[in-house]
Amino acid sequence: MDSRELLERYRALHEQGLISEEEYQLQVGRIKAAERARILEEGGVAALFHLEPGIAGRVLSSQVFWVVLVLAMMPFILAFLGMPPEQGMILYFAFLWFFLYLKLFRFNLIGAFPLDFGTAAMLVVFPGLTLLLPAFQWLLGGFYALTATRVPLLQWPGFVFGVGIAEETTKLVPVVLVLWLARRGGRRLGLQASIVLGITAGLAFAGFENILYTERFGARLFGLKFTLQDVVLSRLLMTPFLHSVWAGITGFGAGVAAAAGPGSFIRGLRIVVPWLLFAAVLHGTYDTFSFSPVFALVTAAVSYLVLTVAVVVAKHWEGDSAAFLGGKVL
């Protein structure tokens, strides 16, 4: 008696009241399990498609399938396009961090379109890195000069009010522009979406800033001998995370200002500027004491803690669940 006949037999017994619901479900499960095992054993490769008719089409229409494929194939695609391997890996790590954030923090991107995040990334590159950052570096040149000293007490204001303010503002301006464009289009992005806009801006900034470094110092930094391995590892592995954390904090501030509704420019500045200064202090403190692994680790950990608290607050504000804190990663 094949599995179909067995199922019909037990269905009839169940309808006649000769076996209980529990017994019926138990026998159905046992029969189906035995049938699946038989198909896998006898069907070979074709069994994958026989067990789930139409599975190939469902897989090809799955976002998960394409995200994993793009992440896995990106180094090959970038190499095929002629991008140097080290620059390709810089962009790869930036993309990887973006999807890690989305997966682990379970953001609810209220009011946002995928194009918003692409726009923020493009604005970081132009006019951000090409126009805004050089302008800020010129305006804050006096503070930048302090970073060349060997005295931490003098370096700190240079890194905070020079490097920190210039780079965090360069990342913040695209976020503010995207929020403004969305409002002009009749959309109001949620606070979590604003944080992700900041994270996107930070990752784009880190990725393309690092590419500029490789183009300017490539022979020295990325030569075959890897003469400055600490700089290489910092650029490839650490800066995407750190820039995204600091930019996510300022993105939270921009989101708070946007949620407060339309108002004067001065009112918006009063909300955003403290968050910008906070991120700049964290950024500058990290740069000042980056020579010390302990100080650098503590500053990076505190920065990440602040971002995570901001995410929890954003979720609470929007009535979303913050259960990701208790979730298991593995």
Cβ neighbors of 172 (< 8 A, separation 6 or more) are 198, 201, 247, 250, 251, 254, 272, 276
User: Interior CA angle at 229 toward 226 and 234, to 5°?
Assistant: 135
Which residue range forms the structural domain that includes residue 205? 69-326
Same domain membership, residue 203 and residue 304? yes
Same domain membership, residue 121 and residue 171? yes
Residue 63 lies in a domain: no
Same domain membership, residue 144 and residue 51? no
What does pTM read for this prediction?
0.81
Same domain membership, residue 18 and residue 159? no
Q: Are 282 and 167 in contact (CB under 8 A)?
A: no
Same domain membership, residue 93 and residue 37? no
Q: Per the structure block, which two tokens stand in for 91?
A: 């962009």
Residue 145 lies in a domain: yes
Write out pLDDT tens, residues 249-272.
999 999 999 998 777 778 889 999
Residue 11 lies in a domain: yes
User: Which of residues 34, 58, 82 is at a domain's end?
Assistant: 58
> What DSSP line would sit under 37-81, residue for residue?
HHHHHHHGGGHHHHHSTTHHHHHHT-HHHHHHHHHHHHHHHHHHT
Same domain membership, residue 109 and residue 46? no
Same domain membership, residue 196 and residue 288? yes
CA dihedral over 283, 286, 289, 290, signed as positive or negative: negative
Write out pLDDT tens, residues 189-199.
999 999 999 99
Same domain membership, residue 273 and residue 157? yes
Same domain membership, residue 281 and residue 169? yes
Write out pLDDT tens, residues 147-189.
999 898 999 999 999 999 999 999 999 999 999 999 999 999 9
Write out pLDDT tens, residues 77-101.
877 888 776 667 777 888 889 999 9
**Distance between CA atoms of 203 and 75, rounded to whole angstroms?**
17
Question: What percent of the chain clears pLDDT 90, i.e. is strictly above it?
Answer: 51
**Distance between CA atoms of 98 and 80, rounded to whole angstroms?**
23
**Distance between CA atoms of 73 and 234, rounded to whole angstroms?**
24
Same domain membership, residue 240 and residue 171? yes
Same domain membership, residue 39 and residue 77? no
Same domain membership, residue 302 and residue 250? yes
How many structural domains comprise the chain? 2
